[in-house]
Structure 1
Amino acid sequence: MEEADVHVITSGRLHIPAHSSILAAASSVLESIIDRPRKHHSSENTISIPGVPCYAVSVFIKFLYSSRCTEEQMDKYGIHLLALSHVYSVTQLKQRCTKGLAERLTVDNVVDVLQLARLCDAPDLKIKCMRLLSKNFKSVEGTEGWKFLHDNDPWLELEILQFMDEAALRKKRTRRNRKEQNLYLQLNEAMECLEHICTEGCTNVGPYDKEPGTKKGPCNKFSTCQGLQLSIKHFATCKIRKVNLGGCSRCKRMWQLLRLHASICDHQTDNDTCKVPLCRQFKLKMQQERLGEEETRWKLLVRKVISAKAISSLSLPKRKREDEPRIVMNQDNLRDLKLYRTVKGLK
């Protein structure tokens, strides 16, 4: 190689020889410094990089030549290298430092790395610091870094507390959405079992009573089917079934299940092919009713149950609960209809 034509001077007065062409090609900031007119009394071309350890500057210059940085160097000088990569606009090194520091986050250094990530415009690293700090806030609160932050940077402290509050709200919404989605899936399962009982039969309820010699396999939704069978028996024999007058609560829940089935049943009304009781009557009644406030709430629930049915019918491998699609519904709608009692009463 040609002889070095520029020297990088560190805060410890260490002179690192380098080539201006390589420095200029790796960093636009260094290029502007090199192209800047020199003072008339300066005999050599120098670049001063103060404020960081000498060896961190040495590693930085080596990266400009080789585009490589070892894990040991990242362990020792990762924070300094991130600052240098931001100041001198070395994008490749900045990405490497962001990833390396994110992998080395601990309770003791998370506050320092967070402050640096904010100053160096590293949003990915900042988010990871925020998440770690939020999960381990009690431990971080006792560190020297947090005490310094508390005394000297109230705005960042406020930002952290707001992030923690929003994370808690998101977690709460996620739990509520999962609970509601689980309820819709249970209602869909109840609809499937109701049609299964009335069409194919299950134990001593349904068409199998007419064919006692037919062998039946075990039901794959036994607990729900068993609860529905008991509700059907009660509904058929109850003497206080005044649903509209607030009579038997068990009959009222069964009545709502039958109405929900009729709302999502895809059989034609003029062909009495559906074996579920009262399905045709409910469909005719719904066609005659005007769309009032209660009917609007009911149609919203029907759409949610149909969505849950579509989700459950997908022939895909079982996914973790965290990855399941989430359906949001106003809790007031579900409480007004009191259909959650149906599922709880069945299992």
Structure 2
Amino acid sequence: MDAKGGRVQNGFRQWLEAGSDAIPAPDVQILTSGGRKISAHSAVLAAASPVMESILDRAQKRGKSRRVIRILGVPDDAVMAFVRLIYSSGCMSLDEEEEMGRYGLHLLVLSHAYSVGWLKRACEVALALRLTAEGVVDVLLLARQCDAARLYLRCMKLLAKDFAAVKKTEAWQFLQANDPWLELEILQFLQEAELRKKRVGRKRAYRRVYEELGDAMECLQHMYMAREGSKKNHPCSSSACYRNLQLLIQHLAACPRRKACPRCCRMLQLLRLHSALCDDSTQQACRIPLCSKHWEGVC
């Protein structure tokens, strides 16, 4: 809230602390669809909402002694909750938090229509926490109309996560019949989400392969290049990769059909990879077998 709004809200708290005699008389009436009249203070409303401030300024310029703001199209209780939340200025009680959950959709519309930014963000958070497969389409439609980007994204993520359940709801069937553009937008988002999921899966698989190759290369070097006295004490001597390499080397030494054997080809490919990366092959200093071998036509 800006400095002006902060001074007004702090002043209102001082009114409440001082007692009912110190609170100025309400100078605005809010009219609801059901004919309910809610008394309020113009200073508090103007500080919370630039839209209400503009309405009150126009009424003052016209010389109206009694200023009225009409809030129509929503239940009376939702309007009352809206006014109470404006007076709370973000410091909500437990009852007001319950009202946020009960009238969340109406409060989101009102906070968007009257530009009460902090309340709109609070409504987005409250509605996002209560999203279900049955109601996500309705919330998505409202989030789109109210330009609630965070809530819209949360709805889309829930649709992607539980689309099978959403397709069975009446709201989704109504959407298919009446808003094909939004349906297409949702389906495109789901397709992109699936593609992202596949890309992430491929990257993770590649990372695992690179990590396994790195471990295998390290174990291979330790097996052939470490000193005899330190082989058994090296950390990689007890790893599964180390034992698997030993088994492959033993199989390669005894296998009669090396070029046709998949296990032999796997070991030869590992040796070929080492040969391509080894810096000692030109000086003939590497102890790993076949390091300087000409590898054309091998597996």
Q: TM-score, normalised by structure 2?
A: 0.79
Match status 1:182 vs 2:199: no
- Which residue matches 1:277? 289
Q: TM-score, normalised by structure 1?
A: 0.69
Q: Is the 8 A contact 2:59 2:67 kept in 1?
A: no
1:226 corresponds, among 243, 267, 273, to: 243
Q: Is the 8 A contact 2:139 2:155 kept in 1?
A: yes
How many correspondences in the alignment?
A: 271
* 1:267–1:7 distance in 2 versus 1, CA, 3 Å: farther
1:38-77 equivalences in 2 (<5 Å): 44-67=66-89, 68-69=91-92, 70-77=96-103
CA shift for structure 1 position 34: 0.8
* 1:215–1:263 distance in 2 versus 1, CA, 3 Å: closer
* 1:50–1:183 distance in 2 versus 1, CA, 3 Å: same
* 1:257–1:217 distance in 2 versus 1, CA, 3 Å: closer
1:260-295 deviations in whole A, cap 9, x for unaligned?
Answer: 2244446695483x432344x36xx89xxxxxxx9x
Unaligned runs of 5+ in 2: 1-22
- Which residue matches 2:26? 4
1:88-99 equivalences in 2 (<5 Å): 88-99=114-125
Tell which deviates more after alignment, 229-238 or 54-63.
229-238
- 2:242 is matched by which residue type in structure 1? C
Residue aligned with 1:16, SS: strand
1:91-136 deviations in whole A, cap 9, x for unaligned?
Answer: 1101110100000111221111111111111111111111112222
- 1:108 is matched by which residue type in structure 2? E
Distance 2:194 2:43 in 1: 52
Match status 1:28 vs 2:45: no
* 1:186–1:118 distance in 2 versus 1, CA, 3 Å: same
Question: Higher relative contact order by CA 8 Å / sep ≥ 6: 1 or 2?
Answer: 1
Match status 1:261 vs 2:274: yes
Residue aligned with 1:8, SS: strand
Match status 1:128 vs 2:154: yes
- Which residue matches 2:14? none
Distance 1:84 1:266 in 2: 70
